[in-house]
Amino acid sequence: MSVIQELSRSRRSASPRKKGDGRWALFFLAPWFAGLALITAGPMGASLYLSFTDYDLLSAPQWVGLENYTRMFEDPRLLKSLGVTFTYVFVSVPLQLAAALGLALLLDKGMRGLALYRSVYYLPSLLGGSVAIAILWRQIFGADGLVNQVLALFGVQGQGWVSHPDYALDTLMALNVWTFGAPMVIFLAGLRQIPQMYYEAASIDGASRWRQFRSITVPLLTPIIFFNLVLQLIEAFQSFTRAFVVSGGNGGPSDSTLLYTLYLYLKGFGSLDMGYASAMAWFLLLIIGGMTVVNFLASKYWVFYDD
Amino acid sequence: MSTTGNGIPRRRGKRLAASAAGIAAVALTLAACGGGDSGIGGGGDEPPPAAEECPCEIRFSWWGSDTRHASTQEIIEAFEAENPDITVVPDFTDWDGYWDKLATSVAAGDTPDVITMEERYISDYATKSVLADLGSLEIDTSKVDDGVLAGGQIDGTQYGIPTGINAYALVADPELFADAGVDVPDDTTWTWEDYVATANAVSEGAGDDVWGTQDYGFNEAGLNVMARQRGESLFTPEGELGVSEETIADFFQVSLDLMEGGGQPDAARTVEYQAAGPEGGLLGTNQGAMGVWWTNQLGALSESSGHELELLRLPGETEGERTGMYYKPAMFYSASADTEYPQAAAKFVDFMLNSQEAAEIMLTDRGLPANTEVREAVLGDLPPTEQKVAEFMADIEDEIVDTPPVPPHGSAELADIMERINTEVLFERITPEEAATQLIEEVNAAIAG
Give the CATH number of the domain where residue A84 resides: 1.10.3720.10
C-alpha closest to that of A274 among B445, B111, B124, B22: B22
C-alpha closest to that of A94 among A167, A202, A17, A173: A173
Domain with CATH 3.40.190.10 in chain B: 51-163+330-393, 167-327+410-448
Q: Cβ A159–B446 below 8 Å, yes or no? A: no
**B428 part of contact set with chain A, CB < 8 Å:** no
| Beta strands, E only, B48-163 | 56-63, 86-93, 114-117, 153-154, 157-158, 161-162
Q: How far apart are the first and last CA of chain A?
A: 24
pLDDT band of residue B297 (cuts 50, 70, 90) is confident
- Total domains present in chain A: 1
Residue A56 lies in a domain: no
Residue A48 lies in a domain: no
Query: Which pLDDT tens digit goes with each residue over A232-256?
Result: 999 999 989 888 888 878 887 888 9
Long-range contacts of B308-311 (CB under 8 A, 24+ apart): B308/B174, B308/B175, B309/B171, B309/B172, B309/B173, B309/B174, B309/B283, B309/B385, B310/B171, B310/B172, B310/B173, B310/B174, B310/B184, B310/B388, B311/B169, B311/B170, B311/B171, B311/B172, B311/B388, B311/B389, B311/B392
Residue A203 lies in a domain: yes
pLDDT of residue A18: 61
Q: To probe the interface with A, which of B272, B420, B443 has the most A CB atoms within 10 Å?
A: B272
C-alpha closest to that of A50 among A70, A64, A36: A64
Average pLDDT of the residues in A60-76 = 91
In sequence order, the 6+-apart residues with CB closer than 8 A to the CB of B364 are B164, B296, B382, B386, B389, B390
> How many CB atoms neighbour CB B377 within 10 A?
14
- Answer for the pair A193, A227: CB distance below 8 angstroms, yes or no: no
- Answer for the pair B412, B124: CB distance below 8 angstroms, yes or no: yes
Average pLDDT of the residues in B127-156 = 90
Cα A8 to Cα A11, A20, A158, B190, B301: the distances in Å are 5, 18, 53, 78, 65
Q: To probe the interface with A, which of B100, B106, B128, B271 has the most A CB atoms within 10 Å?
A: B271
**B129 part of contact set with chain A, CB < 8 Å:** yes
Query: Which pLDDT tens digit goes with each residue over A258-305?
Result: 999 999 999 998 888 999 999 999 999 999 999 999 999 999 888 888
> How many angstroms separate the CA of residue A131 from the nearest CA in chain B?
6
CB pairs under 8 A between A and B: 140
pTM over 0.95: no
The DSSP secondary structure of chain A, one letter per residue, reads: -HHHHHHHHHHHHSSPPPTTHHHHHHHHHHHHHHHIIIIIHHHHHHHHHHTTEE--SSS--EE-TTHHHHHHTT-HHHHHHHHHHHHHHHHHHHHHHHHHHHHHHHHTT--TTHHHHHHHHHHHHHHTTSHHHHHHHHHHTSTTSHHHHHHHHTT-----GGGSTTTHHHHHHHHHHH--HHHHHHHHHHHHHS-HHHHHHHHHTT--HHHHIIIIIHHHHHHHHHHHHHHHHHHHHT--HHHHHHTTTTT-STTTT--HHHHHHIIIIIS--HHHHHHHHHHHHHHHHHHHHHHHHHHHHH-----
Q: To probe the interface with B, which of A47, A51, A56, A57 has the most B CB atoms within 10 Å?
A: A57
% pLDDT > 90, chain B: 61
Classified by CATH at the fold level, domain B167-327+410-448 comes out as D-Maltodextrin-Binding Protein; domain 2 (3.40.190)
Query: Which pLDDT tens digit goes with each residue over B393-445?
Result: 999 999 998 888 889 888 888 888 999 999 999 999 999 999 999 999 999 98
The Cα A289–Cα A233 span in angstroms is 11
% pLDDT > 70, chain A: 93
pLDDT band of residue B7 (cuts 50, 70, 90) is very low
Ramachandran category for residue B371: left, alpha or beta (phi over 0 → left; psi -120 to 50 → alpha)? beta
> How many angstroms separate the CA of residue A277 from the nearest CA in chain B?
10
ipTM: 0.76
Of all residues in chain A, the one with the smallest CA distance to B123 is: A58
- Answer for the pair B313, B230: CB distance below 8 angstroms, yes or no: no
Residue range of the domain that includes A163: 63-302
Classified by CATH at the fold level, domain B51-163+330-393 comes out as D-Maltodextrin-Binding Protein; domain 2 (3.40.190)
The Cα A292–Cα A286 span in angstroms is 10
pLDDT of residue B283: 92
> How many angstroms separate the CA of residue B272 from the nearest CA in chain A?
6
C-alpha closest to that of B437 among B216, B248, B229: B248
Average pLDDT of the residues in B154-172 = 93
Average pLDDT of the residues in A120-132 = 79
**A63 part of contact set with chain B, CB < 8 Å:** no
